[in-house]
Amino acid sequence: MTLTAVAARYAEALADIVMGASSPVQPQEALDELKAFVQTLRSSGELYTALTTPAVPVSRKKAVVGRIAEDLRLSSVIRNFLFVVVGHHRIPLLGEIAEAFDLQLDHRMGYVRAQVSSARELSPEQRGTLNGSLERLSGKRVRMQFKIDESLIGGATARIGSTVYDGSVRGQLRSLERRLIMQD
């Protein structure tokens, strides 16, 4: 099993718990809590070392995680999940687990992700219109992630999985060029 597969299995198990009918925590809250712990872990080299060093007993690591969970006001679900991660020596994978968990939640709630590139920042109205168009095209709810691409003259491109929707000026010019060539 590859490291990515390991992270995916932990993420799937956490999603099973969080998406369960009797879960005391909402999926987005669980994700936010997990990300908060990952951020805390990334912000302290000493903490990361303490939680990944084999010389530190697991009981000590769990005590540290418990204290941080208390400070961050993490739910019992996320705290217990972190105890499992520590107990199985998977702290180095926690960032990857959080990313896989985020994707797993989106998948289970019927969302797809779209990476949108635009020449400049899109207004809220433009984002809303683009979101509606992408939802119609994909047949699913869309979560968009934006980035500025200065190589674009204008417009935007969106990638959902392996499909690219090109609404950029450059893409429109290419399309026009192809139509003109076909008419000759």
Are 145 and 132 part of one and the same domain? yes
Query: pLDDT for 133-172, tens place per residue?
Result: 999 988 889 999 999 988 888 888 889 888 888 877 777 7
Out of 46, 79, 107, a domain closes at: 107
- Angle formed at CA 70 by CA 59 and CA 40, multiple of 5 degrees: 85
| pLDDT score, position 86 | 97
| pLDDT score, position 2 | 57
Render 64-109 in DSSP notation, one character per residue: HHHHHHHHHT--HHHHHHHHHHHHTT-GGGHHHHHHHHHHHHHHHT
Query: How many distinct structural domains can be found in the chain?
Result: 2
Out of 46, 74, 107, a domain closes at: 107
| pLDDT score, position 37 | 97
pLDDT of residue 3 exceeding 60: no
Are 103 and 148 part of one and the same domain? no
Out of 72, 107, 142, a domain closes at: 107
Mean pLDDT along residues 3-9: 87
Comparing 45-54, 72-81, 173-182, which segment has the lowest mean pLDDT?
Answer: 173-182
Strand order of the β-sheet with 111-118 is 141-148, 111-118, 156-160, 163-166
Give the domain range for residue 130.
111-183
Cα dist from 180 to 115, 167, 172, whole Å: 30, 19, 12
| pLDDT score, position 180 | 81
